[in-house]
A and B are shown apart, each in its own frame.
Chain A
Amino acid sequence: MMTANWTEEEIAAWVDGAADAAEAERVERILADDPAARAYAETLQKANRALKSAFEAPMDEPVPAAIKAAILGEPGKVAQFPRRRSVSTWIPAAIAASLALVVGLGAGGLLETEPAPGMIAVLGDAPTDGPLHAALETLPSGTESEDGVLPMLTFRDAEGRFCREFEVVGELPQEIEFGIACRTPADAWHVEIVVAAPVPEAGSGPDFRPAEGAPASDALEAMLDALGFELPLLPDEEATLLEGGWN
């Protein structure tokens, strides 16, 4: 390349629309005179276009149901949900609503700044040698494992997968995590969602109500809807699955 009076950064800033008026004017003069500069600018434009096209697919697709559900929630459907009985014993509406709730999804979501090595419930496939997998794989609903994992109920989702809602107690201070995991064809439990809700303070009184409308509940309910939850399996149906290794 001959002794150029321009830098790639300058050209890039112009291509990216990041040059101010004076810089833009200068670059445009250079482009008019210098074929190498022009070629570089075209290369950048082409690369930008290629990048945009390469990841364009979501722009033409409808919003996935699971994401829409996670955002919008559907508090109206809360009442029929069996978990409510359990949640309602834990979370007074006032506390749940006022503390707003730490809602976490995935490893990052659970703790906002600190990494969380070894968290039991994180989004994605639960490690098959971990406590979550063990509990979901073997424990009947309503039975808590030594690690504080309590499967709540089992259901079949719209795709025919077996899914279980669970709680994890004691992993985060002052919080209970609620999650839903579905069993994959590869015999793993894929955690679809994890939300954390505050444990009520002692002596909050017996008048507990479901935390309708709270983000954690909404998110969980919405996920259930997205999965096509209708009714939980009956205890004997669940027992058969546990005995048969979910086949």
Chain B
Amino acid sequence: MYDEIKAEMVALVPRLRRFAYALAGSKEEGDDLVQAACVKALSRLDQYEPGTRLDSWMFRIIQTTRLDRLRTKARRDTEPDSDLLERVSDGGSAVRMMEDRLTLARVRSEMAALPEDQRAVLALVAIEGRSYKDAAEILEIPVGTVMSRLARARSRLIAQMGEPA
């Protein structure tokens, strides 16, 4: 069973990295998180309930690892680059690819600027496509809290993304 779970875990890595990237704001920090979470998960496999979703369990470990780090370490995260935000105008006439690229950079900055708890919810629902119930279970919060965090995260994100009229 141990080997099967390991194989399954390896297969999950791209999604774990995506989630951790969204949480941590940088791929490097995200990868550190994923690696730490995998080792942690393997060391307490007895706590994993076979038959349940391994990805949910891993998301949870990644998120708690992240929170532990934020608590125990001076936060080293790169603050969102406000210069970049200002430089990026709506650029309606910009070449489309350029615009997309800038938009994505801006989305990452905006994501990084959100409070940690809102970012986690948004990452699970909007990026990973998990249900509100799944997100609630992974984060160990009520579904109503998932919805209110989502709403707050989105109202900020959408305002900042400056939807072209």
Contacts and interface: CB of A to CB of B under 8 A. Distances in A.
A24 to B, nearest CB: 13
A104 B40 contact: yes
A121 interface: no
A52 B18 CA distance: 9
A47 B104 contact: no
B13 interface: yes
B145 to A, nearest CB: 13
B9 A55 contact: no
A59 interface: yes
Interface stretch (B77-85, B88-96, B155-163): B155-163
Contacts of A207: none
Contacts of B161: 47, 50
Interface in A142-160: none
Contacts of B34: 67
For A47, A54, A216, A219, the residue with the greatest tally of chain B CB atoms inside 10 Å of its CB is A54
Instruction: Give chain B's interface secondary structure class.
Output: helix
A124 interface: yes
B73 A8 contact: no
A219 B100 CA distance: 40
Instruction: Give chain A's interface secondary structure class.
Output: helix
Contacts of B142: none
B147 A67 contact: no
A71 B158 contact: no
B35 interface: yes
Given A43-B163, A108-B65, A119-B72, A124 B40 contact: no
Contact of A58 (B21, B67, B73): B21
Given A18-B132, A109-B40, A8 B151 contact: yes
Interface of A: 8-9, 12-13, 16-18, 43-44, 46-48, 50-61, 63-64, 66-68, 70-72, 100-109, 111-112, 115-117, 119, 122-124, 193, 195, 215-216, 219
Interface of B: 6, 9-10, 13-15, 17-18, 21-22, 27, 30-36, 38-40, 42-43, 46, 64-69, 71-73, 76, 100, 103-105, 107-108, 111, 122-123, 125-127, 129, 131-133, 147, 150-151, 154-155, 157-158, 161, 163
30 contacts: A8-B154, A12-B154, A17-B131, A18-B133, A43-B163, A51-B123, A55-B108, A55-B123, A55-B127, A58-B15, A58-B21, A59-B14, A66-B35, A67-B13, A67-B35, A67-B38, A68-B13, A71-B6, A103-B39, A104-B39, A105-B40, A106-B32, A108-B69, A109-B40, A115-B72, A116-B72, A117-B72, A122-B72, A123-B36, A219-B42
